Amino acid sequence: MDLRYSQEDIEFRQKVRAWFEENLPKKKIESFEERREWHRKLYDAGFIGMGWPKEYGGQEARPMEQAIVGEEMARVNAPAGVNGLGISIVGPTLIHHGTDAQKDEHLKKLLTGEEIWCQLYSEPNSGSDLASLQCRADIDGDNFIINGQKIWTSGAHNSEWGLMLARTDRRASKHNGISCIMVKMDDPGVEVRPLKQISGSSEFSEVFFSDVAVPADNLIGELNTGWRIAQTTLSYERGGNTLSRVSRLQTTLDRLLEVAGELRVDGTRAIDDPRIRQKIGQIYSEVEVLRYASLRLLSKLEKGERPGPEASVSKLHYSELDKRAQEIIQEILGPYGQQISGAGEYAFDESDVPYGEADTWAYQFVWSRAGTIYAGSSQIQKNIIGERVLGLPKEIRADRIELEERRKEEAAADD
Amino acid sequence: MDFDFTEDQNMLRDLAREFLTEQVSVAHIREMMEDETGYDKDLYRRFLGLGLIPFPEEYGGAGFGMVESCIIMEEMGRIPYPGPFFGTVILAGQAIIQSGDENAMSRYLPDMANGDLVVSLAFLEDSASWTPATITATATKDGNGYKLNGTKRFVPWGAQADVLLVAARTGEASGPDGISLFAVQANSDGVEATPETMLDLNSRTATVKFSDASAELIGEEGNAWAGLDRAIQRAAVAASAEMLGAARRAHEMSVDYAKVRRQFGQVIGQFQAIKHKLAEMLEQVENAHSAAYYAAWALDADAPDATLAASVAKSTANEASRHVCGEAIQVHGGIGFTWEYDLHFYWKRAKHQEVFYGDSDYHRERVLQEVLAGNVAR
Ligand SMILES: Cc1cc2nc3c(=O)[nH]c(=O)nc-3n(C[C@H](O)[C@H](O)[C@H](O)COP(=O)(O)OP(=O)(O)OC[C@H]3O[C@@H](n4cnc5c(N)ncnc54)[C@H](O)[C@@H]3O)c2cc1C
């Protein structure tokens, strides 16, 4: 065990820190185009797609270097770039399963933010049970004809492209009839309807497809292997960069300590109230444990080990911790935690500091409810941990019973 | 950055596990519950004979640090081992080492390493608190030595110890200043140890009364607090590892049981209520692991956040082991509530260590103090 950063890592961190001091936007990013420009700057500095192969525009950086950039960005509350899903999901999907032509066409543009992508997986009736999806892609000559609906599509309104899972064989069992297809979001027949989230903003949408013609060349991998392809990239999403989450939480706690040093409860400063001290000590400890766990994961990644189903323990940990932390922060701040505007001296951000998305206590609180739903809900993570890490038997489910019965019928028919 | 154990550390774990699983049978643990002394001296000596002792080499140890201590204690927690290893080697050993008194080290440590001496630290008083302000025992100069007066509570293996290390006041001050550390021979006049039975029958403690007992100063008069604090921190981290071992074992037993116990025509591990509970327990065990070993490393490396990490580790292990060992009983149902089934060993060992060397409230407060003082890793 040796948890020191190497000299190389320390120097790299200094370089990164200096870059952000120099280049951090001086004023708040207002428009998507401004954010795209900022993203381009991050890309030119070598901070985007860092782990990707060089031939596709990446840096082949070590996991530690990627983690350091994530941490440093969070430390100064740097605005996020664009195309998060494109870079974390679509890129790796193309790298692993795309044709050379598909890679040449998209990978570089995806990194630089020229092409923004969204993830067209979830449907109204297919969320956790994603494999039950019904949106169809029927082959018609050189095209797929797409009909159906997707929902909760983050960033759909800003995207040029979408990575879709669609049903291409309706007779096959549910996991075996799905394909992975690239769809242009401005094709005729695609309609994006933004949905308002509990945060009040519209970051995800529902997307309708009516007879949308998509070239058959847009298929990724083989026909009807979409489920397997999606599995490889969903695990990327779950691996996550937890150290940057830690930094973000630490930045939040730093501000909480400042506020607790000024806010008065029952005639004393909040920070002198033993009940509040216990609460802050509690979250601070939990965030430290997340940091230690992240270093443990990172040390495995550095050795080239890829976390398998254990990544679910990490996802469960950080998403549930975020909820606990935000609840405790709200308890401490009382009504000040709920202020959306008109916030004064106890607000989360200070207006002269450049920042990204999370700009009020209330906004952070609201967002903490999302992490345990997307990218596999906490219940799904617990199933994965129970079945694939601990080796407990799979649960008895109606769809499995149905499948079993169908297999029996087919076997009987064959006889 | 490497969070994995070295090859030597893995070998150390294997050696400890092999000895403990082979030599400390369930029958032995149960026998020791009824035993007046509470541990087998011969077995204790044989364990020490393996040489897995975290003392400096010149005093009969293996030169191990806290990471190694934690590996040993985690293995002991998996048994859980009945005997004075923790009290003597970790707690009292650290109290002597951290005092910086080389005379005391050469006088006591070699005999503690070979099993000739059982030593304990008598710190707690009536309020059972680990803060320095609660120390009221006094020592007054008497010729070359001192006379010690006061009552110490919950002294680990206090009735079995040959030597008691006692925290007492030599001055008028009431806080951390004026605390000194003394060695008292347990069989000398004016020392009266009353053994007490605790929830964990394998973790013995005693109330020890000192009435003008002859005492020998360790370290400098009035300056013992800093060293004691370091020793208690190390004990807290080693106890975290012991609780981790207990929790990990209770979790393993629960997973195994959930795969074989059938109700309603299926194994209970197929019910989500049980499966999800076991998944949550795993998360807590892994968190306790990350926290205990991070803290052990930070103490060994003298990292700026070592004190913070020690407190994070203890409060995390407290909550995790309490929850995991308790839920393990729930997963087992009625059998988990029986004396004959071994699960309660772990639950009780974890509960025992939870309240010593700082409970969760104590450590959460300490975490905040360290953060406000800027003693963090950034
Ligand atoms: C902020 C946000 C952004 C998102 N962005 C995208 C996106 O860009 N693209 C995209 O495709 N999707 C996106 N999603 C959708 C997300 O992936 C789904 O919400 C998620 O898969 C859950 O599906 P669902 O909403 O249909 O809930 P359901 O699956 O209906 O779940 C409802 C409840 O039932 C529980 N449940 C379901 N199955 C089980 C089971 N087997 N055992 C126990 N409990 C179960 C769940 O845990 C949950 O508590 C986003 C969601 C959110 C909140």
Shared domain for B131 and B149, answered yes or no, is: yes
B5 Cα to chain A: minimum distance (Å)? 5
Integer Cα distance of B55 and A324 in angstroms: 41
pLDDT for residue A15: 97
So what's the pLDDT on residue A310?
83
Confidence label for B212 from pLDDT (cuts 50, 70 and 90): very high
Indicate the residue of A6, A257, A281 with minimum beta-carbon distance to B364.
A281
The alpha carbon of A132 and the centre of ligand 1 are apart by a number of angstroms equal to 13
pLDDT higher than threshold 50 for residue A353: no
**Would residue B189 count as lying in a domain?**
yes
- All residues of chain A having their beta carbon less than 8 Å from the beta carbon of residue B9 are 1
Asked if residues B179 and B132 have their Cβ atoms less than 8 Å apart, the reply is yes
How is A238-257 classified by DSSP, letter by letter?
Answer: HH--HHHHHHHHHHHHHHHH
A375: CA distance to ligand 1 center in Å? Answer: 8
Tell whether B28 and B69 lie within a shared domain. Answer: yes
Neighbours of A140 (CB within 10 A): 11
Q: How many CB atoms lie within 10 A of CB B372?
A: 15
Query: Taking the CA atoms of chain A, what radius of gyration do you get in angstroms?
Result: 23
Q: Is A191 on the interface with B (CB under 8 A)?
A: no
Taking the centre of ligand 1 as the mean of its atom positions, its distance from the CA of residue A126, in whole angstroms, is 8
**Which pLDDT score is estimated for A242?**
81
Rounded average pLDDT over A386-398? 95
- Last residue of a domain, which of B81, B97, B117? B117
Return the amino acid letter for A278: Q
| Nearest 10 degrees: Cα torsion B164, B165, B166, B172 | 150
- Contact criterion met (CB below 8 Å) for B346 and B81: no
Does residue B80 have a cis bond before it (omega within 30 degrees)?
yes
Average pLDDT over residues A296-321: 90
Indicate the residue type of A204: F
Work out the average pLDDT over B39-48: 98
**Mean per-residue pLDDT, B95-104:** 98
Q: Closest-CA residue in chain B for A250?
A: B378
Q: Which of A8, A16, A15 is nearest to A69 (CA)?
A: A16
Region B362-367: mean pLDDT is 98
Chain A partners of B4 at a C-beta cutoff of 8 Å? 1, 299-300, 303
Asked if B48 and B16 sit in the same domain, the reply is yes
The pLDDT of residue A222 is above 90: yes
**Does residue B242 form part of some domain?**
yes
Hey, which of A126, A366, A368, A377 would you mutate to test ligand 1's pocket, going by the most ligand atoms within 8 Å of its Cβ? A377
* C-alpha span between A343 and A304 (Å, rounded): 47
Q: Is the pLDDT of residue B152 over 90?
A: yes
Mean confidence (pLDDT) of chain A:
92
CB distance from B258 to chain A under 8 Å?
A: yes
Whole-number pLDDT of residue A330: 97
| DSSP tag of A114 | S
Residues B240-256 pLDDT 10s: 999 999 999 999 999 99
The pLDDT assigned to B26 comes to 97
- pTM for the complete prediction? 0.95
Interchain pair A9, B371: CB under 8 A: no
User: Which of B255-264 are b and which e, b meaning 16 or more Cβ less than 10 Å from the residue's Cβ?
Assistant: bebbeeeeee
Residue of the CA atom closest to atom 5 of ligand 1: A154
Rounding to the nearest 10 degrees, give the CA dihedral for residues B114, B118, B121, B127: 150
Other beta carbons within 10 Å of B32: 20
Range of the domain at B248: 226-372
Any CB–CB contact under 8 A between B266 and chain A? yes
Instruction: Say if residues A115 and A124 touch (Cβ distance below 8 Å).
Output: no
Helix (H) or strand (E) holding A194: strand A190-195
Does residue B102 belong to any structural domain of this protein?
Answer: yes
Residue where a domain stops, chosen among B117, B151, B170: B117
CB A179 within 8 A of CB A224: yes
Let me know the angle formed at the C-alpha of B147 by B146 and B150, rounded to the nearest 5 degrees. Answer: 130
CB proximity A387 to B under 8 Å: yes
- A370 in contact with ligand 1, CB cutoff 6 A: yes
Residue (of A296, A235, A229) closest to A63 by Cα position: A296
Question: What confidence category does residue A343 fall into, taking pLDDT thresholds of 50, 70 and 90?
Answer: low
Count CA within 13 A, CB hemisphere, residue B350.
33
Tokens representing residue A387 in the block = 């079945």
Closest C-alpha among A169, A129, A164 to residue A148: A164
Which protein residue has the closest C-alpha to ligand 1 atom 51? Answer: A374
CA–CA dist B356, B158 (Å, integer): 15
Instruction: Return the percentage of chain A with pLDDT > 70, whole number.
Output: 96
Least confident of A131-140, A263-272, B48-57, B113-122: A263-272
Residue B377: inside a domain = no
The 10 Å Cβ neighbour count of residue A66 is 20
Q: Which of B9, B283, B371 sits opposite A316 (nearest CB)?
A: B283
In a domain, B131, yes or no: yes
Q: In angstroms, rounded to a whole number, what is the distance separating the alpha carbons of residues B216 and B166?
A: 10
- Identity of the amino acid at A76: V
Domains of chain A: 7-82 (1.10.540.10), 116-223 (2.40.110.10), 238-389 (1.20.140.10)
Bigger pLDDT: A234 or A100?
Answer: A100
Each residue of B46-83: pLDDT tens digit?
Answer: 999 999 999 999 999 999 999 999 999 999 999 999 99
Backbone angles phi, psi at A385, to 5 degrees: -60, -45
Q: What is the pLDDT of residue A351?
A: 43
Q: Is B34 exposed, middle or buried (0-12, 13-18, 19+ CB in 10 A)?
A: exposed
CATH of the domain at B102: 1.10.540.10
Q: Are residues B79 and B15 in the same domain?
A: yes
| Residue A122: both structure tokens together | 């979830």
Retrieve residue B42's tokens: 């011969």
Q: pLDDT value at position A292?
A: 96
Nearest CA, atom 31, ligand 1: A128
pLDDT over 50 (residue A312): yes
Q: Does B314 touch chain A (CB under 8 A)?
A: no
Q: How many CB pairs under 8 A join A and B?
A: 156
Q: How far is the CA of A127 from the centre of ligand 1 (A)?
A: 5
How far is residue B16's CA from residue B62's CA, in Å, rounded to a whole number? Answer: 14
B294 vs A1, A258, B33, B249, CA distance in Å? 9, 27, 34, 21
**Most confidently modeled range among A75-79, A168-172, A245-249:** A168-172
Residues for chain A: how many in total?
Answer: 415
Interface contact A299-B4, CB threshold 8 A: yes
Domain assignment present for B31: yes
Instruction: Give whole-number Cα distances, B189 to B148, B151, B209, B212, B258, in Å.
Output: 11, 15, 11, 8, 56
Residue with tokens 């006061």, as numbered in its chain = B150
Q: For the domain that residue B234 is a member of, what is the CATH number? A: 1.20.140.10
Residues B198 and B248 in one domain: no
If asked whether residues B248 and B339 sit together in one domain, one would say: yes
Tens of pLDDT, residue by residue over A265-308, are 888 999 999 999 999 999 999 999 999 999 999 999 889 888 88
Range from A288-302, A310-324, A351-365, B330-344 carrying the lowest mean pLDDT: A351-365
One domain, residues B336 and B358: yes
Report whether pLDDT(A357) > 80. Answer: no
Average pLDDT over residues A125-130: 96
Give dist(CA B26, CA B104) in Å, integer: 37
- pLDDT for B171-181, tens place per residue? 888 889 999 99
Report which DSSP code applies to B161: -
Query: Helices marked H in chain B — which ranges?
Result: 7-23, 26-34, 41-49, 66-77, 85, 93-99, 102-114, 225-260, 272-301, 306-332, 343-355, 360-372
Q: Are residues B104 and B155 in the same domain?
A: no
Q: Which residues contact A104 (CB under 8 A, 6 or more apart)?
A: none
Q: Which residues of A are catalytic?
A: 237
Looking at the 3D structure of chain B, how many domains does it have?
A: 3
Say if ligand 1 is within 6 A of residue A381 CB: no
In angstroms, the CA A259 to CA A222 distance is: 56
Question: Hey, which residues does B147 pair with through a beta bridge?
Answer: B140, B214
> Between residues 345 and 384 of chain A, which touch chain B (CB distance below 8 Å)?
379, 381-383
**Using CA positions, which residue lies closest to atom 52 of ligand 1?**
A374
Domain with residue B175: its CATH number is 2.40.110.10
Q: In chain B, what residues touch A293 (CB-CB under 8 Å)?
A: 286-287, 290
Contact A379, A103 (CB under 8 A): no
How many angstroms separate the first and last alpha carbons of chain B? 15
- CB contact under 8 Å between A386 and B276, yes or no, is yes
Q: Which two tokens stand for residue A126?
A: 């297919």
Q: Which helix (H) or strand (E) segment is B118 a member of?
A: none
**Nearest-CB residue to B2 (from A285, A293, A299):** A299
Q: Is residue B47 part of a domain?
A: yes
Site from A258, A273, A275, A288 to mutate, B interface, most B CB atoms within 10 angstroms: A288
**Both tokens assigned to A296:** 């443990």
Asked whether residue B81 falls in the same domain as residue B66, the answer is yes
**Per-residue confidence (pLDDT) for residue A350, from 0 to 100:** 52
CB B180 within 8 A of CB B224: yes
pLDDT for the residue numbered A237: 47
Query: Average pLDDT, stretch A309-335?
Result: 94
pLDDT in tens, A88-121: 899 999 999 999 999 999 999 999 999 999 999 9
Domain assignment of residue B378, yes or no: no
Query: Of B358, B378, B160, B280, whose CA–CA distance to A316 is shortest?
Result: B280
Contact B331, B274 (CB under 8 A): yes
Query: Which value, to the nearest 10 degrees, does the dihedral of the CA atoms of residues B229, B235, B237, B239 take?
Result: -150
SS3 category, A71 = helix
Contacts of B287 in chain A (CB under 8 A): 289, 293, 317
Question: Cα torsion at B272, B273, B276, B278 (round to 10°)?
Answer: -120
pLDDT, position A202? 87
Same domain, B272 and B335: yes
* Final residue before a domain boundary, out of B94, B117, B140: B117
| B359, B275: one domain | yes
Instruction: Say which amino acid occupies A325.
Output: A
Residues B140 and B214 in one domain: yes
ipTM above 0.90, yes or no: yes
Asked if the Cβ–Cβ distance from A281 to B367 is below 8 Å, we say yes
Q: Pick A75 or A415 by higher pLDDT.
A: A75
